Every structure is written in C-alpha cells, then in structure tokens.
Amino acid sequence: MEPAFVDITQGRIDTERLIAAVTRPSAGGTAVFIGTTRNPSDGREVSHLVYEAYEPMALGRMSAIAAEAGARWPLIAACLVHRVGRVEPGEASVVVAVSAAHRGAAFEACRFLIDALKKDVPIWKKEVFADGERWGGP
C-alpha cells in the first residue's frame, strides 16, 4: 500500500475529496466509514461536541495503524481524517476511506482502522449538553 494520508483538521471534513483521494483504476472498491455526532446521547440532548488531540502523537499513531492495516490486507490506498474543535450534531467527526482490489479487504481494513483509532489514538471528546458536559471515556 502507498503511505496513508492522515490528517487532523479544524474544519468540516470533505468526504468526497477523501474518497477521490483513495480511488484508483486498480481498485475494485472503496470502503468508507463516517463517524457522526450522535444526538441524543444516553437520552440527553446534545448541544455540540468538542474534540481535542495530542496532534503530533495522534498523527503518528494514525500512520502506524494505517501501516499495520496495509501489512494485514492487500490495500491500495487509505486515508484517516479526524476533526478537532467544535462539531455540531449530525456533522462528521471522523472519516476512514480504504481502497482495495476486492471489497473484502476494503471492508475489513476499514473496520479495523476505525476500531484501532478509537482505542489507541490520543483524541478526546467532550459532549456538551444543555445542562452540563461530559468527557468521553472507556
């Protein structure tokens, strides 16, 4: 696999552009995961979310898990982008896009990448409610 594109961005994630970035003539398919802000959360009305990252380490971990996926599956290209700052309900906070010659590898690697990102990458979410706030946890 070519080196993955990883990014942490303040602004809206352009999903179309990321899909285009991993699309290749040799790819039979592209699997995409879009994580969006959930509302309500545990029955509480969410005003918005705020994400923060330890950026240099987060980018390093994102590149490392992408390289691991590239070693486990025959991928063609991959990208992982996470948003930081304020995110409104319904907006994308994270996008993973993976292309491969065949769909099985693309689906499996995409699932692996979002699971590994949630477990390993130093990014934190705070949910802000009308009546309080809560940091995400394990």
Footprint on this chain of other proteins (rule: CB under 8 A): 35, 51-54, 56-58, 60, 82, 93-94, 114, 117-126, 135-138
Q: How far is the CB of 35 from other proteins (least distance, A)?
A: 5
Q: With respect to other proteins, which residue has the nearer C-beta, 29 or 35?
A: 35
Q: With respect to other proteins, which residue has the nearer C-beta, 76 or 110?
A: 110
Q: With respect to other proteins, which residue has the nearer C-beta, 100 or 121?
A: 121
Q: How far is the CB of 39 from other proteins (least distance, A)?
A: 15
Q: How far is the CB of 137 from other proteins (least distance, A)?
A: 5
Distance CA 48, CA 88 (A): 5
Q: How far is the CB of 106 from other proteins (least distance, A)?
A: 19
Distances (CA, A) of 136 to 22, 49, 55, 99, 118: 31, 10, 18, 30, 11
Do residues 121 and 96 touch, judged by C-beta distance below 8 A? no
